[in-house]
Amino acid sequence: MLIKNVNKLLYILLIVIIVLLIALSTIVIVYFFRKSSSRNGLYRKDECIVNYSDIIKKNSIKYKVDENLIYAIIMTESSFNKDAVSKAGAIGLMQLMPDTYEDIKGKLGYDQPAETALRDPEINISCGVYYFVTYCSGLGDNASIAAYNAGPNRVKSWLMQSDSEFDLTLEEIPMDSVRNYVKKVRLYYSSYNYHYGIAKNYNNTILQRESAAEYAIKYGRKYKVDYNFIMAIMETESSFYCYRVSKTGAIGLMQIMEDTFRVDIANNLELDDDPDQLFDPEFNVMSGSYLLHWLDDRLDGITEIATAYHVGINQTLAWLQDENYSSEGHLVVEKLPEEVQNYLFKVTGFYRRSIRLDGEDKAYKFEE
């Protein structure tokens, strides 16, 4: 009887082992199938590379954007369906709204109707990347991606309330849909980098602080401007993002308008350079440093100079003559528009940060 019971137990144990082996095999097969699918199906860069890789690479180089990030945005937006149309009416690979296309098409030389143009991969990707670089990038990694989905103005308002110094954490994105969007883009981006390697065809667009400080010191000494103030303006305007172009057309590290460059900088310094040269980091810092010198000759005080850099010297002079905005010949920060107050708050904070990190400019230190 004992032997029979042992045999019965062994038989049951054998069945259990067989079942476990089958289950384990199934798990392994599903894992590798999903892994294969994630590379060749879910992420689908292999399938679309023939159709879209040249367009994406061209715009990656033109606008200095990581091509794998472009792939990730397209995958998140449309799964590479060039005819995709969202419930809100966004069209094509990068899911652009017709109104957005109408706003930017002239700058890119397009004149076709949105319904036709945005189904053309060449036009759609060109417009999508241009929109991302011009309106969304430079806000921070998460914030820039969120801005493409939720709109830059909304994300900028979130940044003003953020505890993070230069970006939004995922937890600080208040909308679930936007938070999930950012997660997806970052997931696809990481996957493309893992499977296909980090793109090598675009330049690093963030200037290292050491290089920024080197330029600030060089041109601060040349134009007799506190280099910490130059650093503060640079960090406030662009977060050291070399290729940033603002909604109003300001260019580069120190966000210089083309007209300002031509009239107040190139004209005075007798430069023959085209405004596109402002995308060069050192040239931009040189130009911005001279502009601060130009303003310093006409205004008294770091608040006044920073305000004029932001809103223009004419507006600043008008406020200085209006007691609703000034007192005893100086601007009263609390009386200025909230947006200007926020700008000055950032400049002041970054100025102190630069003194701490880059050392005090003992020759040309500005008084706060």
Q: Which of the residues are catalytic?
A: 77
Q: Is residue 258 classed as helix, strand or coil in its secondary structure?
A: helix
Task: Find, among 55, 85, 86, the residue nearest to 70 by Cα.
Answer: 55
**CA pair distance 28, 30, nearest whole angstrom:** 6
Degrees to nearest 5, angle at CA 260 with 258 and 265 = 110
Tokens 């440093």, residue located: 289
**Phi, psi dihedrals of residue 96, rounded to the nearest 5°:** -90, 140
Quote the distance between the C-alpha of residue 287 and its chain's center: 23
Given 3-state DSSP classes, what are the helix, strand and coil percentages for the chain, each rounded to the nearest 5? 65, 5, 30
Task: Using CA atoms of 257, 258, 261, 263 in order, give the dihedral in degrees to the nearest 10.
Answer: -110
Q: Is residue 251 classed as helix, strand or coil in its secondary structure?
A: strand
Q: Which two tokens stand for residue 272?
A: 């023959």
CB atoms within 10 A of CB 158: 19
Task: Find, among 361, 57, 49, the residue nearest to 232 by Cα.
Answer: 361
**Which one-letter amino acid corresponds to residue 25?**
S
Burial class (CB in 10 A: 0-12, 13-18, 19+), 335: middle
To which H or E segment does residue 232 belong? helix 227-238
**Which one-letter amino acid corresponds to residue 103?**
D
